[in-house]
């Protein structure tokens, strides 16, 4: 009784005012509140998206005129040898790029957050700031710095490895087709590991102290408390971090463009969808720009990310809901 | 089952001393309540018994075993927390068995204990549910169940009823008392609620500012408080205090008077002329009109009618308020001047340092 009374007094003044409003005024009010956001979102997100999708269904003939061709561009992209080989190469590389982030960046971020949340750790805020620092640097600077560090001609990496007796391990990692992509992914991991660390650290701080006390009374040590109590309780945040990583990785372009240029060498070994799209749309060196095929690549990228996000929202996040307090 | 012995426990955080030379012995099977205002160190003491905090100095024995260096799980204790502290990602059964897994209890034994605790606490239908689907009272029963399955020597309760509403608090209190009778285990219970303390405890430990003020049976604390703090803390509404001075000694009787006291006659004891005293009388021991060994007069300012009794707030000569309990249908009207009295056995006398005489 009391609950419903409280709810009514809370909601009633508003709903009565709105309910007694003439319909025209109500709609005007809605337009006033929703209008600006809808207008901006439409102008800068929805319209370009639809325009891109529309463009991907056209092609240009020799005179430069646009002709509607339906889904032909997509068929070309996925089946024609000239297009499909670099496309699948870029898609696969992008998957590897994402996998490195998931297997290296996020576990290290979780482990760092776990260490930061240990009671009695000194200099917490110093570690936190230092680890987060690279995230605030421009990708261009990070890419350029690592390019210099790893350079076999004048980089410090070889000397540093020699100093600890591991000189024979050194290889021009950015220059070898077998290692370039993973090396670039690890540079990106180095730069952005602070983001999962911060998000998961914040989630760990949310776990009540009494819960940890209860686990200690139950006989768990620090590691088991982390594994059995803290980790399950931050799974929703880990899910969020994963989807952010996924979206970020499949939109990535800047680091590879900075370090390897648009050709994403050596021999396209570090080519991902972002750089592939760039060459397709704008052209590079001998390759002419092709806006309609570029739009098709962009549309495919959009659907890959959409599929990933839907998978997360409708399957993963639903299952994680049971970990809520 | 085991008793508990605390020997000269001190705890300081930097210069701040939160516990000073605490000594306390609890016998096997006793229900001891630590009570005191917030910040008095009662929860800190409990956490030290549990092993969640380490004392700065001093020893803790559980059943004659020095446990200072032992982890919480090795102390054979179980703790119930104010916020229940149930694992949100485990169902009720898992919550109860989780700790047992790490202390090497066989699965069949775990099942037996859970079944027994569930029966005792009427949790059988809830075993498959998650904490978020339970009400506050159910959650607290699960938390108690999680403590029971550990079969500890000592149960520790940290304000377990504070998060429950008034009705549930009463029924859960009864439940805990019943459990104590059933299990016969040693229990240490922290609360700031004196009703919980009075109703549950075999013995109450009243704490204030990191020190033990008095240890005693509930009615001992009520009828013979050792000092002003205990006198004022136990009992609701709180005891009225009146400043006084010994006026004359006639044989075994002492007459004392004060600015707010018309007359008080006390047994002589060790009093000398001119001794400064504080006289304490509980509201429920004041009677309007009737003559008595103690009497005081004031103007009624406000009457609170509760039904079984009414509380008259009375303005005294020194402009402070005192409270008198009035039974029955006739209550004084505000503005009326009334004389209240009390028999000598209900008058508490404290010396200048606040100690009971």
For A306-322, the pLDDT digits (tens) are 999 999 988 888 777 66
Backbone torsion region of residue A186, taken as left when φ is above 0, otherwise alpha when ψ lies between -120 and 50, otherwise beta: alpha
Do B204 and B323 share a domain, yes or no? no
**Which residue in this structure is represented by tokens 């009391």?**
A2
- Which backbone phi and psi does A108 adopt, to 5 degrees? -65, -40
Q: Which of B85, B86, B89 sits opposite A232 (nearest CB)?
A: B89
Which of B194, B209, B233 marks a domain boundary?
Answer: B233
* B154 and B252, same domain (yes or no): no
Same domain, B27 and B162: yes
Chain A CB contacts of B78 below 8 Å: 217
The answer on B196 and B65 residing in a single domain is yes
* Among chain B residues, CA nearest to A224: B102
Q: What is the pLDDT at residue B66?
A: 92
Instruction: Give the end of a domain, one of B233, B256, B274.
Output: B233
Scan for tokens 């399955």, then name that residue: B149
Q: Which among A211, A217, A324 has the least Cβ separation from residue B72?
A: A217
* B113 touches B149 (CB < 8 A): yes
CA-to-CA distance for B50 and B44, rounded, in angstroms? 10
Interchain contact B13–A (C-beta under 8 A) = no
pLDDT band at A324 (very low <50, low <70, confident <90, very high): low
CA distance B252 to B269: 8
* Alpha carbon of A203: minimum distance to chain B alpha carbons (Å): 15
Write out chain A residues lying below 8 Å of B136, CB-based.
Answer: none
Decide if B102 and A220 are in contact by the 8 Å CB cutoff: yes
In 10 A of CB B31, how many CB atoms? 21
Output the six-digit token pair for B126: 């809830």
Give pLDDT tens digits for A28-54: 989 999 999 999 999 999 999 999 999
Q: Write the CB contacts of A149 (distance below 8 Å, at least 6 apart in sequence).
A: A155, A156, A157
Residue A234 with chain B: CB contacts under 8 Å: none
Tell me what the mean pLDDT of segment A132-149 comes to: 94
ipTM greater than cut 0.95: no
Q: Which residue of B has its CA nearest to A235?
A: B89
pLDDT band for position A1 (cuts 50, 70, 90): very low
| CATH number of the domain where residue B148 is located | 3.40.50.300
CA distance readout (Å), B356 to B21, B68, B140, B260, B283: 22, 36, 40, 20, 19
Instruction: Find chain A residues with C-beta within 8 A of B86's C-beta.
Output: 214
The pLDDT value given to residue A320: 74
Taking contacts as CB-CB distances below 8 angstroms, the residues of chain B near A322 are 89, 130
Helix, strand, coil share of chain A (percent; to 5): 75, 5, 20
Predicted pLDDT of residue B157: 94
Alpha carbon distance A183, A171 (integer Å): 11
Q: Report yes or no: A227 at the B interface, CB cutoff 8 Å.
A: no
Token couple for A95: 């998957």
Residue A21 — pLDDT band, cuts 50, 70, 90?
Answer: confident
How high is the pLDDT of residue A15?
67
> What's the distance, CA B280 to chain centroid?
20
| Core vs surface per residue B184-206: b (16+ CB within 10 A) or e | ebbbbbbbbbbebbbebbebbbb
Domain boundary at B233, B259, B284, which?
A: B233
User: Do residues B214 and B206 touch, judged by C-beta distance below 8 A?
Assistant: yes
Tell me: do B160 and B282 sit in the same domain. no
Tell me: domain A72-323, CATH 1.10.3720.10, correct?
Answer: yes
**Beta strand segments in A111-264, E:** none
- Nearest-CA distance from A235 to chain B in Å? 11
Most B CBs within 10 Å: which of A214, A224, A236, as the mutation test of the B interface? A214
B192 and B91 in a common domain: yes
Give the Cα separation of B292 and B290 in Å (integer). Answer: 7
Cis before B61? omega within 30: no
In order along chain B (357 residues), what is the average pLDDT of each group of 10 residues?
Answer: 87 89 93 92 92 92 90 91 91 92 88 92 90 90 92 92 87 90 92 91 94 94 94 91 85 79 72 83 89 86 91 90 90 89 88 86
- pLDDT higher than 60, residue A286: yes
Residue B357 lies in a domain: no
Place of tokens 């009705």: B167
In three-state secondary structure terms, A206 is coil
Q: Which domain holds residue B293?
A: 240-350
Question: Residue A12 pLDDT > 70, yes or no?
Answer: no
Chain segment B71-125, per-residue pLDDT in tens: 998 899 999 999 989 999 999 999 999 989 888 888 999 999 999 999 988 889 9
Q: Within 10 A of A209 (CB to CB), how many other CB atoms are there?
A: 12
Residues of A in contact with B88 (CB under 8 A): 233, 323-325
Claim to verify: residue B133 and residue B281 sit in the same structural domain? no
pLDDT of the residue at A14: 60
Q: Give the model's pLDDT for residue A7.
A: 43
Q: What is the number of structural domains in chain B?
A: 2
Pair A71, A211: CB distance under 8 Å: no
Residue A158 CA to residue A34 CA, distance in Å, equals 58
> Does B356 fall in a domain?
no
| Alpha carbon distance B344, B357 (integer Å) | 13
Average pLDDT, chain B: 89
A324 at the B interface (CB within 8 A)? Answer: yes
Tell me which residues of chain B, numbers 154 to 213, contact chain A at a CB-CB cutoff of 8 Å.
none
pLDDT tens for each residue of A66-97: 889 889 999 999 999 889 999 999 999 999 99
Sheet bearing B4-13, strands edge to edge: B16-26, B4-13, B57-62, B65-66
Q: According to the model, what pLDDT value does residue A276 have?
A: 94
| Residues facing residue B241 across a β-bridge | B280
Q: Look up residue A289 and give its DSSP letter.
A: P
Lowest mean pLDDT: which of A152-161, A245-254, B213-222, B225-234?
A: A152-161
Q: Are residues B21 and B72 in the same domain?
A: yes
Answer yes or no: is B49 within a domain. Answer: yes
- Residues in chain B with CB shorter than 8 Å from the CB of A233 are 88-89
pLDDT at A13: 55
3-state DSSP assignment of residue B207 = strand
Residue A3, pLDDT score: 40
Among candidate residues B121, B249, B235, the one with its CA nearest the CA of residue B183: B121
How much is the average pLDDT of A59-63? Answer: 85
Domain boundaries, chain A: 2-55, 72-323
Rounded to a whole number of angstroms, the distance from the CA of A307 to the nearest CA of chain B is: 28
Residue B129, preceding peptide bond in cis (omega within 30° of 0): no
Q: Are residues B20 and B163 in the same domain?
A: yes
Q: What is the mean pLDDT of chain A?
A: 89
pLDDT, tens digit (0-9, with 9 covering 90-100), for A97-127: 999 999 999 999 999 999 998 878 889 899 9
- Is residue B120 located within the same domain as residue B194? yes
Residue A2 pLDDT class (50, 70, 90 cuts): very low
Q: Which two tokens stand for residue B351?
A: 């010396």
Instruction: Tell me if B355 is assigned to some domain.
Output: no
Share of chain B above pLDDT 90, in %: 53
Rg over alpha carbons for chain B, rounded to the nearest Å, is 24
Same domain, B100 and B192: yes
ω before B2 within 30° of 0 (cis)? Answer: no
Query: Residue B81 and residue A325: Cβ atoms within 8 Å?
Result: no
């Amino acid at each position: 009784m009391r609950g419903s009374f409280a709810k009514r007094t809370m909601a009633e003044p508003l709903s009565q005012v709105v309910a007694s409003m003439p319909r025209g005024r109500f709609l005007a009010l809605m337009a006033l509140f929703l209008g600006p956001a809808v207008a901006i979102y439409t102008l800068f997100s929805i319209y370009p998206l639809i325009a891109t999708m529309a463009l991907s269904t056209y092609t240009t003939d020799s005179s430069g005129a646009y002709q509607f061709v339906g889904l032909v561009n997509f068929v070309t992209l996925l089946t024609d040898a000239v297009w499909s080989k670099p496309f699948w190469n870029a898609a696969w590389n992008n998957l590897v790029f994402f996998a490195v982030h998931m297997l290296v960046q996020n576990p290290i971020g979780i482990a760092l957050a776990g260490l930061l949340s240990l009671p009695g750790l000194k200099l917490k805020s110093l570690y936190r700031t230092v680890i987060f620092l690279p995230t605030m640097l421009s990708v261009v600077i990070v890419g350029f710095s690592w390019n210099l560090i790893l350079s076999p001609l004048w980089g410090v990496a070889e000397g540093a490895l020699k100093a600890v007796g591991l000189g024979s391990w050194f290889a021009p990692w950015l220059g070898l087709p077998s290692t370039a992509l993973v090396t670039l992914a690890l540079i990106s991991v180095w730069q952005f590991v602070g983001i999962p660390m911060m998000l998961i650290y914040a989630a760990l701080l949310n776990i009540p102290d009494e819960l940890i006390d209860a686990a200690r009374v139950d006989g768990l040590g620090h590691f088991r408390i982390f594994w059995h109590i803290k980790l399950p309780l931050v799974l929703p945040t880990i899910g969020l971090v994963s989807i952010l990583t996924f979206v970020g990785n499949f939109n990535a372009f800047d680091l590879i463009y900075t370090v390897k240029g648009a050709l994403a060498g050596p021999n396209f070994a570090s080519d991902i969808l972002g750089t592939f799209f760039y060459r397709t749309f704008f052209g590079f060196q001998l390759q002419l720009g092709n806006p309609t095929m570029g739009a098709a690549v962009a549309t495919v990228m959009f659907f890959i990310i959409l599929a990933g996000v839907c998978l997360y929202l409708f399957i993963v996040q639903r299952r994680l809901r049971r970990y809520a307090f | 089952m085991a008793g508990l012995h605390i020997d000269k426990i001190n705890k300081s955080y930097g210069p701040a001393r939160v516990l000073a030379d605490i000594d306390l012995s609890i016998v096997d099977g006793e229900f001891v309540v630590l009570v005191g205002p917030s910040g008095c160190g009662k929860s800190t003491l409990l956490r030290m018994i549990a092993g969640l905090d380490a004392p700065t100095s001093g020893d803790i024995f559980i059943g004659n075993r020095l446990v200072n260096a032992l982890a919480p799980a090795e102390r054979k204790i179980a703790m119930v927390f104010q916020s229940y502290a149930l694992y949100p990602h485990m169902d009720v059964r898992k919550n109860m068995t989780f700790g047992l897994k790490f202390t090497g209890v066989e699965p069949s034994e775990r099942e037996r204990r859970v079944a027994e605790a569930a029966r005792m606490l009427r949790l059988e239908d809830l075993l498959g549910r998650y904490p978020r689907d339970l009400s506050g009272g159910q959650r607290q029963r699960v938390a108690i169940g999680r403590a029971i399955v550990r079969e500890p020597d000592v149960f520790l309760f940290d304000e377990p009823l504070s998060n429950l509403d008034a009705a549930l608090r009463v029924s859960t209190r009864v439940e805990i008392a019943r459990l104590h009778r059933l299990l016969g285990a040693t229990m240490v219970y922290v609360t700031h609620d004196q009703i919980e303390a009075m109703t549950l405890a075999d013995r109450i430990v009243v704490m204030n500012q990191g020190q033990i003020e008095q240890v005693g049976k509930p009615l001992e604390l009520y009828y013979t408080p050792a000092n002003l703090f205990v006198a004022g803390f136990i009992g609701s509404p709180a005891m009225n205090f009146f400043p006084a001075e010994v006026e004359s000694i006639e044989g075994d009787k002492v007459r004392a008077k004060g600015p707010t006291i018309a007359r008080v006659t006390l047994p002589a004891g060790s009093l000398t002329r001119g001794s400064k005293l504080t006289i304490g009388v509980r509201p429920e021991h004041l009677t309007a009109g009737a003559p008595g060994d103690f009497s005081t007069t004031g103007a009624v300012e406000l009457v609170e009618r509760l039904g079984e009794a009414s509380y008259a707030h009375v303005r005294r000569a020194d402009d402070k308020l005192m409270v008198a309990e009035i039974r029955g249908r006739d209550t004084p009207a505000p503005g009326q001047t009334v004389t209240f009295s009390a028999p000598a056995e209900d008058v508490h006398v404290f010396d200048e340092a606040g100690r009971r005489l």
